Amino acid sequence: IIPYLTEEINDTINKEQAEAIAADIVQEFEDRVDYNYPGWEHKQTTVKEIHKLLLDVLLKEHKRPELAKDDNFADSIRGYLIENYV
C-alpha cells in the first residue's frame, strides 16, 4: 500500500502520511472483514465492505477525497488485501 501511495499517486504523499493511511486501511480491514472462511474473497459482501472501509479511512480519517475517487487505487488496494489474507 505504501509504495502505491508514494510512487503511483500523482499527488504528493510523504512516507509518514502513506504509512498512516496504510496502517489504518489494514486495521479497518482486519476489524471489519471476516476472512476466516473459505471463499470469503469472492463474496460480494467482502467487496462492498472493503469499499466502505476505504471510504471511511480516506474520507473521514485522512481527508483524501481524491484517493477515494481513484478507482485504480481502490482496485489495487482491494487486490492487495485479498491476496495477502487468502
Set of cell numbers at residue 38: 473459505
57 and 20 Cβ atoms separated by less than 8 Å: no
**% of the chain surpassing 70 pLDDT:** 100
CA 45 to chain centre: 15
**For residue 10, pLDDT beyond 80:** no
Region 15-44: mean pLDDT is: 96
> What CA–CA distances, in Å, run from 62 to 43, 54, 58, 71, 85?
28, 11, 5, 18, 24
